[in-house]
Amino acid sequence: MSTCPESPTLIADKLLNTNQAPTAQKRQLVKALLEDSTAAAAVLEAKIGALQAELAQESAKLAKIQKVVAGYRAIISPFRHLPTEILQTIFRFTLPRSHNALASTKDPPLLFTRVCREWRDVALATPELWASIHIVCMSFEDDMPDEARAAIKYRASAIAAWIARSGACLLDISIQGARSLEGGLGYGSHVDLNMISSVPLTLSAILPYSHRWRELHITASIDDLGPLEALCTPDLPELVSFSLNENMALRGGPVTHDDLAGPTFLSKATRLRDLRMTLSTRPNNLARSLPVIPHDSLVSLCLRDPYIDARSLRGLADNIAQCVTLQQLKVDIANSRIRLDGAALAFQGKLFTAQN
């Protein structure tokens, strides 16, 4: 009984599943299959290459047409034809709620000035967009290149230009000094004396607009507030909230009583309602600073001084008692040498508790 000869493909498949060495005859059969398959693969590769080239050409045509279509759609877009007043309203709603506007091109309002000429014109003509700003102040260093110094000074002029766009709006300003203490906050901490704060330069830039300040919040050394001492009562008619978080210092060592200076300009802020002060770099600084505030208008007062002594604490309580309109009070005394044990401050028939 005869059997049908195996096909070359079947022979190759069997050899693939074994480690058996092919005979000379089978080797010739597999070699012929290899040549046929190689030729078929070359034909398909050529065909695929031609199709890919055609696809690339068509894709380029499509991208060009899509760009034209996007342009036509932009022309007839309802958003393009929004009245200026509605566009301004939308811009206002994009401003941050939890902090002042950042001087960054990635955030409103500066972001709007980089989209198109129309948006830029609308943004610059909307004073409310420029009525708040958070300013981060870089420090000058002894070995700083002239170009870097010039950039810091230019930043101060840019801040003045920002505020000038706010028209007659009341201003909310926060200033963050960049020269931090090393080794924690507090009296006697180490500071880099080769760094000079640019906070005074920034304060000088915003000083011409003091009559429109509504909120001013500063994180810097009390030594940086020098430009503010030139203010008079007519210069602060709208200031209702002020905070100073002193976590920086020009010196790291002890200072004498004559060196201590509180923010005396606050006595000119006759409408000040909210005051928060952390004066943590010198002993009893807070107790000496409080007498310069307007006692007749304060509603909320938050104080922190980790280095106050017991005698100064009593003086502090006497000064707080003069705040006849005060409704909220928080006093944070971190000095472990003073045991308050729930000591109470009583005035105007109200009781407030201070604790460490």
So where are the chain's domains?
Answer: 8-76, 131-353
Residue 343 has pLDDT above 60, yes or no: no
Residue 300: CB partners within 8 Å, gap ≥ 6? 273, 274, 275, 326, 327, 328, 329
pLDDT in tens, 213-226: 999 999 988 888 88
Which two tokens mark 79? Answer: 């958003």
Task: Choose which CATH entry (1.10.10, 3.40.50, 3.80.10, 3.30.70) describes domain 131-353.
Answer: 3.80.10
- For residue 161, CA distances in Å to 31, 37, 42, 182 come to 82, 75, 68, 34
The torsion angles phi and psi of 324, rounded to 5 degrees, stand at -70, -20
Lowest mean pLDDT among 90-94, 103-107, 279-283, 333-337: 333-337
How many residues make up the chain in this entry? 356
- Measure the N-to-C terminal CA separation of the chain; round to a whole number of Å: 109
- DSSP class of residue 209 equals G
Both tokens of residue 270?
A: 């006759």
- Higher per-residue pLDDT: 159 or 255: 159
Mean pLDDT, to the nearest integer, of 211-239?
Answer: 89
Short-list 218, 260, 262, CA closest to 239 = 218
Which pLDDT band holds residue 252 (cuts at 50, 70, 90)?
very low
Q: Could you give the 3-state DSSP secondary structure of residue 195?
A: strand
Mean pLDDT rounded to a whole number for the chain: 79
**C-alpha angle 330/332/334, rounded to 5°?**
175
Instruction: Name the token pair of 56.
Output: 């690339």
Q: pLDDT > 70: what percent of the chain?
A: 76
- Structure token pair of residue 126: 């909307």
Measure the CA–CA gap between 142 and 333, rounded to whole angstroms: 37
Which pLDDT score is estimated for 4? 60
Furthest-apart CA atoms within the chain: distance in Å: 125
pLDDT beyond 70 at 281: no
